[in-house]
Amino acid sequence: MNRLDGKRALITGGASGIGLAAARRFVEQGAAVLVAGRREQALRDAVGELGAKAHYIVADVSKPEDNRRMLQATLERLGGIDVFVANAGVEGVSAPLVDYPLEAFDEVMAVNVRGVFLGLQCAIPAMRARGGSIVIVSSIGGIKARGTGNSAYVASKHAEIGLMRTAAMECAPHAIRVNCVLPGPTDTRMIQSIEEGRSPGAPEKARAAILAGLPLKRYGTPEEVAELIVFLAGDEASICTGGVYVADGGLSAI
């Protein structure tokens, strides 16, 4: 039986990586999806792969008007919203905190924190009548510093967990569940960027160091993280709200 039959989902950052893997799994499990992102060609390609139950919208989650457009498009094209996956995020640059460029810090906070905040402001009122599930894709960086040079990213991911916990308490009377998924190192474009930032010109050295510190000695895949998102989105997780769920290869246990 399809676990998400009849569900309507909005997924930000849905054109690649974990977002696309989640959209793919949602459609496979019976949901209709609208994927949002900043790169139209990538979104077109994603929807072409996902099929007739998928739609897209070009939007920047850091902008209030774009969040309103995303929500309105979801209501118009899907007929409602049952699931909101706040997945869009950026990693920023790699630099010591005292040298971290202010403009880079502001960009990370605008997308990762302001974007989630604005998405919640739009999605929650639309979900109150029927209830539903909100999944915020944070990071293991939300509970661990994970080395040096990533102050903006770590701060933003801690903030996402704070937003989730606040939203979970405020949404509980409306049967809206709110949870966070915390991927560890996952084989996506973002980890490749982080590797290059830690070891410019020799990212394989950074990868070897990261892998050496993982109990499972491998990166996760976007599909593995997507399975956890699907679980939290579906009715099988009906008692789950306010939770932090790691998918990190054991990193949080260290």
Considering 56, 153, 219, 245, which one is annotated as catalytic?
Answer: 153
- For residues 26-49, one letter each, b for 16 or more C-beta atoms within 10 angstroms of the residue's C-beta and e for the rest, the string is bbbbebbbbbbbbeeebbeebbee
Name residue, tokens 């049952």. Answer: 82
Q: Which long-range contacts (CB under 8 A, 24 or more apart) does 197-205 make?
A: 197/91, 197/93, 197/94, 197/149, 198/94, 198/147, 198/149
CA of 246: how far to CAs of 70, 77, 114, 194, 250, in Å? Answer: 28, 32, 23, 19, 9
197: which DSSP letter?
H
For the beta carbon of residue 110, count every other beta carbon within 10 angstroms.
17
Residue 245 annotated as catalytic:
no
- Dihedral sign (CA 65, 92, 140, 96): negative
Helix 151-171 / helix 102-109 crossing angle, nearest 10 deg? 20
Residues marked active site are found at 153
